[in-house]
Amino acid sequence: MATKSVARKDPDISPVRQALTRVAQNFQVSLAPFPDEAAALAFKEDATQFLANGTIATGERHQTALQLLRDGKRLKRSIDEHWMKVKRWLEDRKKDIGTIASMDLQVVDPCLAGLNAAILSYEEAERARVTREVEIERRRQEEEARTKRDAELAKMEKDALAAEQQSEQLSDRERAFAQAVYQGISPEAAAKRAGYKDPQAHAARLLNTPKIAAVIEGMQQAKALRDQAAAVKEKPIEIREPEVQANLGKVAGVRTQTSWTAECFDFDLFIDKFVAGEVDRQTFRTLVMPHAVAGNEMARALHEKLERIRGWRHVKKGPKAG
């Protein structure tokens, strides 16, 4: 089928060009060194010499250390202020470039969002279709296997009844004898139970009678068939796992995937389940990490008393001169 030609309209990129021109004009910055570098070097020399003379052991050296600390902090503040101007300029240019990039991305991003939404909708529908068809095929196979099994069970029962019907050609005493022998009673005892006056004499004769032997064999066959049927009933129905392919396209360099994120919707419930032993320790440790910011706030409020909380302790730093 011929594809209809659509005239393309170039996007309005003049705002981007204007922004680029404006940023290029402002892309100048003075990277002059720190103007009071000599003072910084002098401070370094004095502080290094002071520290080389050992620890503070007198009030006079303590006074000198405080003065050096004050001078150093002033220098540090001046250095920070000097380079902060450069940092702010860079941040401004970074924002300008980010704005320009956003303007360019606005040409593409809405289309990408629409394509992603359409692809996701189709793939979800296709996966749902595959799931439905797999379930339909699984049920069809199960029904077919169940029908086949029921037919097999019905045939076994029919064969068992046919084997048992051979006893109808016997007399009552012969049937009683055959039933007793089938149950495992000795031939002589079986003949006695059946009512024969001379059990010993009749036992051998009855066993050698073809129709009685056939009836006993038929009873055994019927039992074997019913045992086999019971085993078939207990065996779960087995089917071949249905294979239904999703109708998804493939393009080199493009793949879709589902991302998963976690959300704790009830933290108290989670804690209760851990206390009750329903959440293992490793999972708890993975999902619950100590909150450093909150811990530090408690340490500043409680000091040494923080150790009243089991598993926590305070860490004392300083004092820090300022």
Written as one string, the DSSP assignment of 58-120 is SHHHHHHHHHHHHHHHHHHHHHHHHHHHHHHHHHHHHHHHHHHHHHHHHHHHHHHHHHHHHHH
Whether the predicted pLDDT of 208 surpasses 80? no
Residue 126 neighbours by CB under 8 Å, 6+ apart? 246, 247, 248
Distance CA 265, CA 80 (A): 44
Instruction: Over range 239-257, report the average pLDDT.
Output: 83
User: For a pLDDT cut of 90, what percent of the chain falls above it?
Assistant: 21
Q: Domain map of the chain by residue range?
A: 37-136, 137-234, 267-308
Give the SS3 label for residue 259: coil
The vertex-131 CA angle with 129 and 133, nearest 5°, equals 70
- The 10s digit of each residue's pLDDT in 133-151 is 999 999 999 999 999 999 9
Whether the predicted pLDDT of 125 surpasses 90? yes
Whether the predicted pLDDT of 217 surpasses 50? yes
Most confidently predicted of 93-97, 166-170, 175-179, 262-266? 262-266
Q: Which of 44-48, 64-68, 251-255, 257-261 has the lowest mean pLDDT?
A: 257-261
Whether the predicted pLDDT of 85 surpasses 90? no
Structure confidence at residue 22 (pLDDT): 67
List b or e across 93-117, with b for residues whose CB sees 16 or more CB atoms inside 10 angstroms: eeebeeebeeeeeeeeeeeeeeeee
Structure confidence at residue 3 (pLDDT): 45
Distance CA 200, CA 97 (A): 115
Distance CA 78, CA 310 (A): 45
Could you tell me the two tokens for 52? 């080389």
Structure confidence at residue 6 (pLDDT): 47
Structure confidence at residue 252 (pLDDT): 82
**Per-residue CA distances from 104 to 11, 21, 91, 124, 166 (Å):** 10, 15, 20, 31, 94
Q: Do residues 231 and 153 make contact, with C-beta atoms less than 8 angstroms apart?
A: no
Report which residue type is found at 7.
A
Instruction: Over range 120-144, report the average pLDDT.
Output: 92
Q: Identify the residue whose tokens are 């086999």.
A: 228
Instruction: Over range 7-28, report the average pLDDT.
Output: 60
